[in-house]
Structure 1
Amino acid sequence: MKMPFGLKAWSPSFLRLSVNPFPLLILLAPLWVVKSCGDVQPDTRQEINDILLGNNVVATTGVIPLVADGRTAATIRITASPPVNTSYTIVGDLIDANNKPVLQFDKEGWRQVGTWYEEGYSGTYDEADRHLWLRFKPKISGDYRLKLKSEYFLDLKGAATNSRLPVTVVVTTSQFNGGLLFVTFIASAFLAICFLRLTYFRGRLCYGGKFKFLSSKSRNTRGIYDAGLVSLKLKGRYGYTSARQRRLASPRQYRVILDLAIQDSFGEILFKKDVIGWINFIHSESDEYFTVWMPCLFFRLDQPASLRFRISMPAFVERPDFIEQEWIQFELRDRVVVPWPVGATRIN
């Protein structure tokens, strides 16, 4: 048999209980992200218009209240409307109630209007660099103001001009970044699902594979199975033989019996049962076949035991049509962990 896979190789003993809901607690991680959306305060928005800058003319905005709680971030967006064919600069200071600058920034922008010509075509263009935004978290709560000025205006030839620059300031506050929160939710949910897939219903693969004839592989299932849950999963495929094809009145589902017996090391039969499954018709663009549906079977061992599983399914289903078995795939696993109680048959 193979060595334990994944988390089972190193996890503490209480995590290897056959029925263990504790790993489900990892789902609280993405749920916490969702809950945090409901705990945030609504965004605030303050728009300041009618700011007009000139050469070395200082303009000071009204009061901008900011909160320093470790979660709230403030964003300042400045939009200028420069004259045509002009470059400019904006120098700004965010000052506190004591007129002390706590944040300084500058912005160089321009606007150019003209006519373009290319391969017999022409048109006009109006291009500009007029936007600036800053995002930060205040260290101290209080009332702040924004002080702005423009140091120069230049025309296309680089000569100084006497111009005016209308500016609009928008200040918003929010307690979370929506894009980052969405990425965090997706990442935490993905990691939680991966963790649960590694934890539940995997156990240790004792024997399994995809075979043409299932009964001939029965002897390979003999081995020492650990105490706890043992699972048997089976799926397969049937198809029409070359001599028979599906008729219009052919059924879309067949009943099939799985003959299962479990023996101990002395050959004594500890468990025997005929398990009812179904063969369901599947139609695709290129093929018609049947898939085998068989319930997952669980067995409980009170102590380690040497067992052999005798498994067989009919190679043909003759009535009302003649379909044959193409392949059967099954997996035998011990040390299986489930999140809730399952119907398990006690073997010893």
Structure 2
Amino acid sequence: MSSSPKTQYTARFLDLFTYLTLLSTAVIFACLVFSPVFMRSLASKTIQVNPDVPEQLPPIQLKKELIGALRIDVSASIPSNHWVTYEIQLKDQQGRVLASGIKQAWRESGTWSEEGESGTWTEDDLVGGLDVRAVKSEPVTIVLDVLEYSDISGKEIDQPVPFEISVVNGAVDTRYLWTGMIGTAFLAFLALLVTPFSGKVIIDKLICDSDLSGRGILGGTNNLVRVTVKIKSDEHSPRSLTVLLVINDGNGEQLYSQRHPVTLSFVKSEGKVTAANGKLTTFFVLEPRSSYGFHVEVTPDATVDRTKLVVREHCKTLFPAKITTLKSTQ
């Protein structure tokens, strides 16, 4: 004896990991989009700094922020084929150094010729900076010092160097956000690919005909069973075929018998149809765990070249799915 099949749409077996990675990607993307909202410009100016004569900017108020940090960006303006080494310091009211960094900036250019062609090239690396996360709110001073200024031959130059300085508070280092978004998006992509193949394969049978059967031990109350039927047909196939799926319990009693229409996708070569493929996927909860038999019959069968039956248990779904519960009293 067995109870009547019960079919319903349910999200009970959703793969939560996939949605977690998608949510993480969305949150990180939102942080990338809205991070400029927290930035506030504190200073933006150009100054001239002589070698070995530190230049001090007017004090600014460093504030403790919930999100972001104080960012100091410095860009040197030097002629081609020159090098400058400069230091950025952040000091408190007592003159103590809170943070510092040394940058070796350069700009080089030249000409090239190859196989009768010629041109010019230029390269540079001029920008340095500091990101400082405030522990407390206090006035701070930015000090810029040119440690060395020379041309590419090594000749020292005793001239002031122009610097463009930009100071903002609440800056967010988006490099880590981009890394996080790419990583979580990749995990989400893998989850989307793998979920349809999740679970343990119990039955995997292939036959060059339209009818096949298989039996295995599977099922249980919280065990989702995925039944997949793949069909390969020839060039004379109709637009759709019908798959009769029958499930029997260990005593041979029929628990399920249903005909499912399957629309085929046609394969073309040089404008001609050469084959057709179809796929049926259904979900079941089989209670109790026991031996169950599965039988597949495809009609009309004249054009069917190959039929494959795959039954997996402990499966997950990407979306709420139509699941049929079958209960046997064997």
For 1:1-348, what aligned pairs fall within 5 Å after superposition? 19-21=12-14, 23=16, 26=20, 27-37=22-32, 40=35, 41-69=37-65, 71-82=67-78, 87-109=83-105, 130-151=126-147, 153-154=149-150, 161-192=157-188, 194=190, 202-215=198-211, 217-218=212-213, 221-228=214-221, 229-240=224-235, 253-285=238-270, 288-314=273-299, 316-317=301-302, 324-338=303-317, 340=320, 342-344=322-324, 346-348=326-328
Deviations 1:278-312 (A, max 9, x none): 33433244862443435423333221232222222
For 2:42 and 2:215, the matched residues in 1 are separated by: 75
What code does the residue aligned with 1:309 have? Answer: F
SS at 1:180 equivalent: helix
What code does the residue aligned with 1:239 have? Answer: D
* Structure 1 residues 68 and 291, CA gap change in structure 2 (3 angstroms): farther
- How far the C-alpha of 1:95 sits from its partner, in A, is 1.3
Q: 2:79·2:107 contact (CA, 8 Å) conserved in 1?
A: yes
For 1:122 and 1:193, the matched residues in 2 are separated by: 46
Cα RMSD for the two superposed structures: 3.9
1:8 maps to: none
For 1:178 and 1:99, the matched residues in 2 are separated by: 31
SS at 1:190 equivalent: helix
Deviations 1:165-200 (A, max 9, x none): 222212234443334213312322433454576667
Count, aligned residues: 313
For 1:125 and 1:214, the matched residues in 2 are separated by: 69
For 1:231 and 1:117, the matched residues in 2 are separated by: 66
What code does the residue aligned with 1:263 have? Answer: N
For 1:222 and 1:329, the matched residues in 2 are separated by: 14
For 2:299 and 2:70, the matched residues in 1 are separated by: 71
Deviations 1:301-331 (A, max 9, x none): 22123222222224744xxxxxx22222221
For 1:71 and 1:138, the matched residues in 2 are separated by: 11
What code does the residue aligned with 1:223 have? Answer: G
For 1:142 and 1:211, the matched residues in 2 are separated by: 78
For 2:116 and 2:261, the matched residues in 1 are separated by: 79
User: Which structure has greater strand proportion?
Assistant: 2
For 2:113 and 2:261, the matched residues in 1 are separated by: 79
For 1:129 and 1:36, the matched residues in 2 are separated by: 29
Q: 1:56·1:150 contact (CA, 8 Å) conserved in 2?
A: yes
SS at 1:313 equivalent: strand
- TM-score (norm: length of structure 2): 0.74
- How far the C-alpha of 1:238 sits from its partner, in A, is 1.0
* Structure 1 residues 303 and 201, CA gap change in structure 2 (3 angstroms): farther
**Higher mean Cα deviation, 338-347 or 194-203?**
194-203
**Higher mean Cα deviation, 31-40 or 327-336?**
31-40
For 1:177 and 1:206, the matched residues in 2 are separated by: 49
1:321 maps to: none
For 2:239 and 2:114, the matched residues in 1 are separated by: 72
Identity %: 22
RCO (CA 8 Å, sep 6+): is it higher in 1 or 2?
2
Q: 2:219·2:285 contact (CA, 8 Å) conserved in 1?
A: no
For 1:34 and 1:129, the matched residues in 2 are separated by: 29
* Unaligned runs of at least 5 residues, structure 1: 1-16, 241-245, 247-251, 318-323
* Structure 1 residues 141 and 38, CA gap change in structure 2 (3 angstroms): farther
SS at 1:222 equivalent: strand
For 1:122 and 1:337, the matched residues in 2 are separated by: 62
- How far the C-alpha of 1:207 sits from its partner, in A, is 0.4
SS at 1:186 equivalent: helix
- How far the C-alpha of 1:52 sits from its partner, in A, is 1.8
